[in-house]
Chain A
Amino acid sequence: MESNAPELGAKPRTKNINSHSGRNQGDGASHRVVRKLPPRAANDRRNIYITSKTDFKAQQKRCKELLNSGVKEIFLHCMGYSITRGLNLALRLIKNSEGALGYTINTSTIQLVDELHPLCDEDDITFRQRNNSALHIRIFSNNLFNIDVPQLPAPPALPKVSQREPPKPQQPKQQHQHPQKANFKKQKAKAAKKQKAKAAKKQKAEAAKKQKAEAKKQKNT
């Protein structure tokens, strides 16, 4: 079902789709392919998942408002067909921001699972795994007010990313870092820094006091 006028990068609408999404016509159709939702890493407002159906303008507005409301960075996740759409969105956001926004891009492969529902009573449900390419765009605002925020050594790695290099089965788990966790880390770092600064201030104040006292002593003498 088409919802709005297709934007650039939208899913191409072929007229004769022989292989209906719900069926497998090739091998005698012994099962029906049922897609599952792709896994999501995080589901807060800063993570935006691009679809090929959502209105382009609406999504652009949403991102813009999010960035204007004081969020430092947002993540656009797009997969398969919607990659071009996501790229378009990111580029347009950056172009319209007149240099206030920067971006970094990560590519990854997402493992999708399809359920193969049986069509006859004797079969059981089976699964099919396939991969799809995905793109994670981080858009951050680099305006003047944010300069004092110290850049963390490691920007929060993107969740559910198995890198292009042939991945080892256990590695993605360790690589995977929850953005929330990262956020938490950041906060921790911030807090530590604050404490350090406080301590430094205290030391300074004490030093000043000592100096003053010494000066007084000297005066007295």
Chain B
Amino acid sequence: MSTQKLEYDARMGGKIILPTHVSTYRYAAGAVNEIEGLITEALNPVSSKLIFQLLPKHMRRRAMSHHPKRLPRKYRHAHKNQMCKGGNDPVIRKRPSRKYRRRPGNLLKEYVRRQRKHNWLETHIWHAKRFHMVDRWGYRLANASCDKTYRACYRASVQHCLLQDISYYTCVELQGSLEVLRNGLARMTSPQCGLSVTARTFLTGRREGTVELFVDNKYPHGALQRANFMWRPLDEGESATRTLWLWLHPSAAQATIEQLLRVFQLQSRRQQTLPLQEEPQKEQTEKPLRFWTQTKAFERHAHYSHGSLQLLVLRQEFNRFRLTGPQAQRVLASSLRAHRKGQLEAQSTQADYCEAAFQLHSPNELLSNLIMGLHIVDPRLQRPSKRTKAEPRAGAAPTGSLLFSQPECLPRSPLWQREERDRLARDIMSTHAYQELRQQHAVVPGQPCAFEEQMQPVPLLLIQRPGSQDTKYKRLGYGCGWDVIAPAKYGMALWLTLTMWGARPGGLREFDSVARESGGEQHLPDTLAGVKLASVAAEERRARYFRLPPNKRTNYRKLAVASPFSAPWKHLVRDWRTTDGPTKPGIGSYHVLRHRELLESIADCLRQRQPLPDVVPDDCLIQVQLRLKARGHVKDNALICLPSAADYKRSWRQISRNEQAPVHMEPPQPDLNERTRKELRSNHKLKLKRLRARRVREKRRLQETATKRVHIRAANTASLVRSHLLEMCRLWLPTDPAETRDSVRRQCSREVFGYVTTAGFSFTEATVCAVGYVTSGGLQQLLTNLENTKWHQQQPMCLVRDPDSHDYRWASLQVNLNVAVQTF
């Protein structure tokens, strides 16, 4: 059945017909191709030889490959490149000597190079010597001290003074008429969260405010971040334009600025079209150019405007230090000496008020969020010779009138003026110059010199932070302190003075611990920063999990934990949603409830065992504070569960017998994947073994015929191994909660209605405390269950379980009312 194939081969007798003529254009096209090929060949020769091997014999020298200088100069560069590619770089430069590297000029160059990727704060070098540094939000920031100072920092925040550098906050200056600002900012905030930016109490500039920012008209969804703001106090005469400073956290600063640009329709001033001024006498027939484009090559601060409205992004223009703890009063009183020489009346009034304010026992006794301006002498002059604890000055404590009435000029400061800031940065006496002068003039070491009186005064802004204001929630005044805003370049001078007076420096870890101790969270889980931090933490936990050997890994399938590394808010909200239908605003949307009145009514309902009000949206998360009632520890990402009737009964028994055992243990679930994993693993090993055996056989076969030694072929199993690893990871972890409904709510023997975000031992409460979020549906369920069981405890309780454990433990539950207002 096979058809015979024709073979066109002259030897076999096939017929070949040669053409009688060749068309010239075809020939020319072929020739052109050939010539092109020759040219490229000549330009980039493809030869496997190295350059020094290509040289004619009379130009070759011994050890040429090793010493590039033996090559003709024109070949040296190419030679170096070739050798670099091979990995055996013959010209690896030695690292320059330490002495060379540490020369000030070279050191500074190195610092500039290292700041290309992540910006440094002014106190960076000081911190880098003492702290573990991390890359966060485009900055390189201090995380925690290399010493063990966790508890010491807590003690400092309660009794002494904790000092943190928060200069990484971005200051955004908005300038425009009040009406425009009010309308624009109203679109990004909501009156339900608290006072707006243009509230009367903030407009005078005597208090700093806090506001939650959202994407334009997206409230309650689309939370951006929590921002502090302060208004420039009104000077006499001008009242048309007002200036506002927004202090943005760098995690969401860019997104917030973009929102502001969109809301106010601002345009960048970097490139702008300006009308061209033509000389009128020139008569031209053509249409003349009327506009020209001006482009600024460098802009120190990004500048946007629209009409009279201006927006300036002041990055690295200020230093902002945070002092926490009652001792901050003493530290500030010792390190800030008011500049009283040749002062205006307003400045001396400010100085008087500040000095009286620092005599008080605690910052909390002043007006909350008070802003004070102050001129001080250079902070370098106020240092003790040794690190000393700042002691209270003898003298009568001032009376209570400080709280009621502040002088009108108190919040004024030249820091608001750009020229003044530039002047301050320009005229600062460098530490080097200062030391030189001291060497020349100081006769007695440690004594003040005459030239020091000529050093320029430094304007500061001091902002009071009231700390905890709700006695029900946290002890009064915990976390109170001051924020000090200093002009650029004065950071290090002020920082050293503050630490020398006994303030304890802390890092980013201390922000988290102070926030946890005060029962709140810095970044809520629906803000940009919160989402990002959670995903980073989840990735870290996952990586750690798979670094462990298999027999040390927690089997989450056996423990019935659906999402072991991160809290699946979307799926939790999905499972607890009551109104199921097309009206829902989109799958996977959730937000933290910030509506203060609603939160208050929820708290009332919890206290009085009434059903929750109907207006509570079902896709919201309610921030709660949890306290473990007895033994046990809770880690981040723990489950918050609903207790069953049997648990309440058992609880009574445990109380009467004083038992400490967990109230309920999760029965171990069967792990269906265990067998699969084992098989997969053995199969994989077997496969690799087989492949290797094949390669060995191949090598042997080749070796038989070859004269030279034959090496075994490379394995090339990387993709195989990777796919195996992925499959193995999938088999280890529980199924993704996105796949099935109710996979989060009913993941274990108790219904899950919330997750813990931060947890740990709280020193203020002397128990393990946690901050978590629960769904409104779950809270409602908890209340209805309580009615049936006649459980009359003071606070509603829930069960808490670590993702790594099967023990359920009792925790009391309290709604946080101050979600939208930062108190720490």
Contact = CB atoms under 8 A, between A and B. Distances in A.
Contact of B814 (A1, A117, A121): A1
Interface residues of B, number: 48
Contacts of A22: 469-470, 472, 817
Nearest to B469: A34
Interface string A181-196: 1001000000000000
A153 interface: no
Given A1-B814, A20-B603, A37-B477, A13 B368 contact: no
Interface residues of A, number: 41
A23 interface: yes
Contacts of A165: none
Interface string B464-500: 0010011111011100000000000000000000000
B397 interface: yes
Contacts of B207: 125
Interface string B301-334: 0000000000000000000000000100000000
A40 interface: yes
A138 interface: no
A111 B207 CA distance: 24
Contacts of A34: 368, 466, 469
B365 interface: yes
B352 interface: no
A15 B609 CA distance: 11
A125 B199 CA distance: 11
Contacts of B766: 3
Contact of B368 (A111, A115, A120): A115
B397 A111 contact: no
B399 A3 contact: no
Contact of A127 (B201, B362, B399, B403): B403
B367 A173 contact: no
A117 B392 CA distance: 31
A125 B367 contact: yes
Interface in A77-122: 111, 113, 115, 117-122
A127 B404 contact: yes
A14 B201 CA distance: 35
Interface string A112-142: 0101011111111101000000000000000
A125 to B, nearest CB: 5
A40 B362 contact: yes
Contacts of A28: none
Contact of B794 (A15, A23, A160, A181): A15
Contacts of A13: 794
Nearest to B362: A37
Nearest to B363: A37
B600 A23 contact: yes
A124 B404 CA distance: 12
Given A1-B765, A43-B361, A113-B400, A35 B471 contact: yes
Given A115-B368, A181-B394, A39 B794 contact: no
A121 B627 contact: no
A34 B214 CA distance: 27
Interface string A10-38: 00010111001111000000000011110
Interface string B594-622: 00000010011001100000000000000
A180 interface: yes
Nearest to B608: A16
B364 interface: yes
A180 B397 CA distance: 12
A181 B361 CA distance: 17
B95 interface: no
A17 B600 CA distance: 13
B169 to A, nearest CB: 24
A39 B607 contact: no
Interface in A140-194: 159-160, 173, 176, 178, 180-181, 184
A37 B201 contact: no
B6 to A, nearest CB: 96
B94 interface: no
A134 B245 CA distance: 43
Q: Which of A1, A15, A111, A178 has the most CB of B within 10 A?
A: A1
Contacts of A15: 792, 794
B196 interface: yes
Interface string B779-799: 000000000000010100000
Nearest to B360: A39
B396 interface: yes
Given A23-B600, A34-B368, A125-B201, A111 B400 contact: yes
Nearest to B182: A121
A41 interface: yes
A118 B199 contact: yes
Given A1-B627, A37-B477, A115-B368, A123 B200 contact: yes
Contacts of A111: 400
Contact of B600 (A20, A118, A125): A20
B600 A35 contact: no
A209 to B, nearest CB: 44
A81 to B, nearest CB: 12
A22 to B, nearest CB: 5
A117 B818 CA distance: 13
Contact of B201 (A2, A17, A124): A124
A221 to B, nearest CB: 61
Contact of B472 (A1, A36, A127, A181): A1
A16 B608 CA distance: 7
A53 interface: yes
A21 B394 contact: no
Contacts of B534: none
Contacts of B368: 34, 115, 117
A181 B392 CA distance: 12
B765 A35 contact: no
Contacts of B119: none
Contacts of A113: 400, 403-404
Interface string B383-402: 00000000010111101100
B49 to A, nearest CB: 81
B361 A35 contact: no
Contacts of A173: 396, 399
A184 B395 CA distance: 12
Given A1-B814, A127-B403, A178-B394, A39 B765 contact: no
A91 B331 CA distance: 38
Contacts of B365: 36-37, 39
Q: Which of A22, A53, A113 has the most CB of B within 10 A?
A: A22
A176 B396 contact: yes
Nearest to A122: B200
Contacts of A16: 607-608
Contacts of A181: 394
A55 to B, nearest CB: 8
A22 B207 CA distance: 20
B195 interface: yes
B340 to A, nearest CB: 25
B198 interface: yes
A20 to B, nearest CB: 7
Nearest to B519: A1
13 contacts: A3-B765, A3-B767, A13-B794, A16-B608, A21-B471, A21-B472, A35-B469, A36-B365, A43-B361, A113-B400, A121-B200, A123-B200, A124-B201
Q: Which 6 A-B pairs have the closest CB atoms?
A: A121-B199, A40-B361, A37-B364, A37-B477, A34-B469, A124-B201
Interface of B: 191, 195-196, 198-201, 207, 326, 360-362, 364-365, 367-368, 392, 394-397, 399-400, 403-404, 466, 469-473, 475-477, 600, 603-604, 607-608, 627, 765-767, 792, 794, 812, 814, 817
Given A3-B766, A35-B471, A113-B404, 8 more contacts: A34-B466, A35-B469, A40-B362, A43-B361, A121-B191, A124-B200, A125-B207, A173-B399
Interface of A: 1-3, 13, 15-17, 20-23, 34-37, 39-41, 43, 53, 111, 113, 115, 117-125, 127, 159-160, 173, 176, 178, 180-181, 184
